Structure 1
């Protein structure tokens, strides 16, 4: 079976660009019309701005698989993957019948946020075009992290309409497997799993390698996340994040978000897969050559860079705060994320002081350290530029806003010019192939189906 999955993953037709919301919905609706005996295209809810939310059900057996794209609206690879998965299942009767699953595919759970990112969907994709049109909701406004949550002093119940729609689908389907489709900026491929096996770990690692992509084998996204195998991480919880913040001396009460879709679905015994793929590849992501600098030195340097970034963006935001007239999504996100840069700086300094980290750093760790700072600069600097640009666009060009916009524009271009890392844009068909292969391999391993080759 795995070789058949690899054949499907390696035969994705060329994809020229990311698909916007209208295109995704049109393609999914077309599949439903083409296969009415197999599918059902139905509305599951409404977005915050009143846009219909849709799901495509493909009949195939008693086990239920739920696949969700755009849980973070700045991550559009999953939308492409959801359409390719739907076409694969409807066109391949033998595969669908052998898997024995009914599929519930949501090609875009956050259309409002996705539309705000569509400015960078048209190639060529550069760091500048990406950052200047980037939008990621504040944590409490993300579908993936706005499920109800109560732990110690943390309580969250401001559940969004999109999240309510996804909760309803989870409650109704009680899926055997929930596949949440994600992607990042650069580096290598990695996965989050609630459950796994040695064989599945090997298969998931093999998929990108056989497609010519590197694995991410450096640091996890946060120090508390468990690494199960190279590029395979245990799905983490909001409770773990709160405990880690407390351990570092940070105020966990500042975490204004809920729990994840995987944590919510776990009440039904649902397994969880998150497939993380990058836009740009670098061999440094999987290079464990020791460096001349120590790991604590690397962490301390990362902390200094995070603090410099936090100081710059905080100062610019505070300089215009009295003049701001619109509480746009970009402003809410900026107010939520810029403080995270201060936390990241403090976290890096604390980890640098631990005795168990006293060892040489490796290339993959340096790549992650530089990349995490650059990601914060491009993402959060770009959103603050949109805060200021939005005020100028409605005629609120006060001296403070004009000055901050000019200054941030210069700083932003400087940050991009400083990027020392070599990167290569990855053909979108390969990214879709990785996610498609991961979904099918995990379905066979964890949700039923034959695992023979």
Structure 2
């Protein structure tokens, strides 16, 4: 079966751009119209701005699978993956029968946020263009991180409508398998799973290798990630983050977000997969060559750089706060994220003091520090520029807003020059990213459940 999956991976077509909301919905609607014998479109909810949320059901067997994209709206690879998966399953009755699943495929669970990113979906994809047209909602407004949570003094029940829609699908289907589609910025391919087997780990590693993509072997996205096999990690949830912060003496009670989709479906014994694929490749991301500085020194430098970015961005935002008139999602995101820069710096400083921090740092860790800094400056600098653009667009060009806009434009362009010089990268063909996620889904569901 796996050899057949690799052949299907090779058949994934080329894509010249990421698809916006309208194109995704038109594509999934066309699948339902063309394959009415096995596929049906149904509305599962409503976005915060009033847009219908749609799921395509493809009948194929007694087991239930839920696959969804755009839980983070700045991660559009999954929309293409969901659409390709829907087209493949609807057109191949033998494959559906062999897999034995009925599929519930949601190509865009956050259309409001996705529309705010569409400015960078057309090629070429550069960090400058990405940052200047970037949007990511505050944690409590992210679909992936707004599931209910009650743990060690942290309580969250402000579940957003898009998450309610997913919860409803989970509760109705009690899925045997769930896949949340994500993508990163730099590095290699990696996955989160509830558990793994030697064969599943082999398949998940073999798919990117087949496509010429590396597994992620550099510094982890989060310091508490548990590696189950190379590139395969135990699924993240809020409890892990809270426990880690507690272990290094950093306050966790200010968390203003909920839990993950993977945590929610634990109640159903669901097998789940989160696939992370990067936009850009850089050899340093997986280079374990030792450096002449210690890891602790690298972490303290990271903390210093993050605090400096916070000083610039928070200072500019503070200079215009009293003049702002628009109720902007960019502004809500900035008010949530900018205080988090100091928190990230605190975490890095605390981690530097953990025993063993005096070991030599490696190239991939230095790359991760540079990538984190450039990503923060491009993302938050871009969202602050979009905030100020909005004020100017409605005629609110006060002296403070015009001055901050001019100053930040200058700073952003300088930061973009640095990002593209210090973190050079090769853009990975979209087809390979889609094929990796598509293959990982089929490679996972075609294996029997453990035990």
- Specify the TM-score bucket, using the shorter chain as the normaliser: over 0.9
Q: Is the 8 A contact 1:65 1:102 kept in 2?
A: yes
1:143 counterpart SS class: coil
Moved over 6 A (4+): none
Q: Is 1:38 the counterpart of 2:38 in the alignment?
A: yes
1:17 counterpart SS class: coil
Query: What is the CA–CA distance in structure 2 between the aligned matches of 1:255 and 1:262, rounded to whole Å?
Result: 19
Give the alignment's Cα RMSD to 1 decimal.
1.3
Matched length: 448
Superposition pairs for residues 121-270 of structure 1, below 5 Å? 121-270=121-270
1:356 counterpart SS class: coil
The CA deviation at 1:303 is 1.3
Q: Is 1:330 the counterpart of 2:327 in the alignment?
A: no
The CA deviation at 1:447 is 4.8
1:358 counterpart SS class: coil
Query: What is the CA–CA distance in structure 2 between the aligned matches of 1:367 and 1:349, rounded to whole Å?
Result: 18
Q: Which moved more, 1:250-259 or 1:63-72?
A: 250-259
2:67 counterpart SS class: strand
Q: Is the 8 A contact 1:24 1:83 kept in 2?
A: yes
Query: What is the CA–CA distance in structure 2 between the aligned matches of 1:265 and 1:355, rounded to whole Å?
Result: 36
1:15 counterpart SS class: coil
The CA deviation at 1:201 is 1.2
Superposition pairs for residues 10-409 of structure 1, below 5 Å? 10-409=10-409
The CA deviation at 1:367 is 1.6
Candidates 428, 437, 442, aligned match of 2:444? 442
Q: Which moved more, 1:419-428 or 1:111-120?
A: 419-428
Query: What is the CA–CA distance in structure 2 between the aligned matches of 1:200 and 1:162, rounded to whole Å?
Result: 31
Query: What is the CA–CA distance in structure 2 between the aligned matches of 1:353 and 1:172, rounded to whole Å?
Result: 47
Q: Which moved more, 1:390-399 or 1:328-337?
A: 390-399
| Structure 2: runs of 5+ lacking an equivalent | none
1:418 counterpart SS class: helix
1:205 counterpart SS class: helix
Query: What is the CA–CA distance in structure 2 between the aligned matches of 1:59 and 1:47, rounded to whole Å?
Result: 26
1:313 counterpart SS class: helix
Query: What is the CA–CA distance in structure 2 between the aligned matches of 1:401 and 1:429, rounded to whole Å?
Result: 42
- 1:252-294 CA-to-partner distances (Å, cap 9, x unmatched) read 2221111111111111111221100111111222221222222
Query: What is the CA–CA distance in structure 2 between the aligned matches of 1:143 and 1:35, rounded to whole Å?
Result: 29
Query: What is the CA–CA distance in structure 1 between the aligned matches of 2:311 and 2:152, rounded to whole Å?
Result: 31
Query: What is the CA–CA distance in structure 1 between the aligned matches of 2:399 and 2:287, rounded to whole Å?
Result: 48
| Structure 1: runs of 5+ lacking an equivalent | 449-453
Query: What is the CA–CA distance in structure 2 between the aligned matches of 1:22 and 1:355, rounded to whole Å?
Result: 51
Q: TM-score, normalised by structure 1?
A: 0.96
Query: What is the CA–CA distance in structure 2 between the aligned matches of 1:250 and 1:315, rounded to whole Å?
Result: 25
Query: What is the CA–CA distance in structure 1 between the aligned matches of 2:186 and 2:11, rounded to whole Å?
Result: 23
